[in-house]
Amino acid sequence: MATGDLVPTHFPARRAAQVALHHLNTHHGSPFRVFGLQRVHTATAEDQVVGTAGRKYSLDFSVTDYGSSGSVLRCSAEVLFPRTETHTHTPPEVHLRCEDLTHISSSPEELAFYQKHTAPHSAISAHDLPDSQGNISQDMQPFWHLARVAASFIMLRESSENTEYNMAQVANLTQQETSEKQLMLKYHVLLHDIVSQEIIHWKLLCSWSPEGGVSVRETEWLPKCPHDTGPPTAH
């Protein structure tokens, strides 16, 4: 793997940036805010030997919020992929700063969405978001965004220098009853890893509120066939 200055358009920088994106979404994502990578501007990599051993990437990149605002933010991050002696996977560590991030607060849309779906008798369920043709109704988009944010917790945890994750589709979602002041949702999501080209199925339980953000309570990997030995990073 490359060390020193990296070509920003090539995969080592891009994979590291995508990891930073997953981290960003876990902290700041919502039904109306999901960040995607726009461009990597500069990137370097070096071997870190002091403290956690591994490869450390330093990145300068821009992201787009395609949840609703379409705004573009400039970010910088350090992403460390730890090197472990054993064969178990250790999630990457991310330190991230984006301009204008602290100015982002709950929007009226978020509050309205939250009120509507935490009202008594709200029992949302859906499948195939988007459908095969890429269609998704306006009403369902926030649930799709929320899935992407929740999936980011998994994608972040599962990432390595040899993966590049996106969420391919939401297979289904069902709202869960809860006594907490949260929107509680069970999801079955399909993740896509560009490097292995695998589609990986995960079930997850997540909660969201405007003040609290997204939190993932449970995750479960679903093998695609009986002799499946584990998600790509386990190999």
Q: Which residues bind another protein (CB under 8 A)?
A: 7, 9-11, 36-39, 66, 69-70, 108-109, 112, 130-135, 166-169, 190, 192, 194-199, 224-225, 227-228
Write down the least CB distance from residue 45 to another protein, Å.
14
Main-chain dihedrals φ then ψ at residue 169, nearest 5 degrees: -170, 155
The single-letter code of the amino acid at 80 is L
Q: Which is nearer to another protein, 155 or 184 (CB)?
A: 155
Q: Using the minimum distance from each CB to another protein, give the nearer residue, 133 or 179.
A: 133
Hey, how many other C-beta atoms are within 10 angstroms of the C-beta on 70? Answer: 8
How near is the Cβ of 225 to another protein at its closest, in Å? Answer: 6
Task: Give the Cα separation of 35 and 167 in Å (integer).
Answer: 13
Measured distance between the N- and C-terminal CA atoms of the chain, rounded to whole angstroms:
18
DSSP string, 93-106: EEEEEETTGGG---
Considering beta carbons, is residue 130 or 213 the nearer one to another protein? 130
Closest CA to 186 of 158, 157, 147: 147
Phi, psi for residue 145 in degrees, rounded to 5: -60, -40
3-state secondary structure of 227: coil
What minimum distance in Å lies between the beta carbon of 135 and another protein? 6
CA 163/CA 197 separation, integer angstroms? 9
How many other C-beta atoms lie within 10 A of the C-beta of residue 41?
Answer: 15
Which CB atom, from 52 or from 203, has the smaller least distance to another protein? Answer: 203
* Nearer CB in complex with another protein: 93/109: 109
In which region does residue 59 sit, left (phi positive, over 0), alpha (psi from -120 to 50) or beta (all else)? beta
Minimal distance, residue 133 CB to another protein, in Å: 5
CB closer to another protein out of 52 and 107:
107
Distance of closest approach, residue 186 Cβ to another protein, in angstroms = 21
As measured in angstroms, the least distance from the Cβ of 61 to another protein is: 13
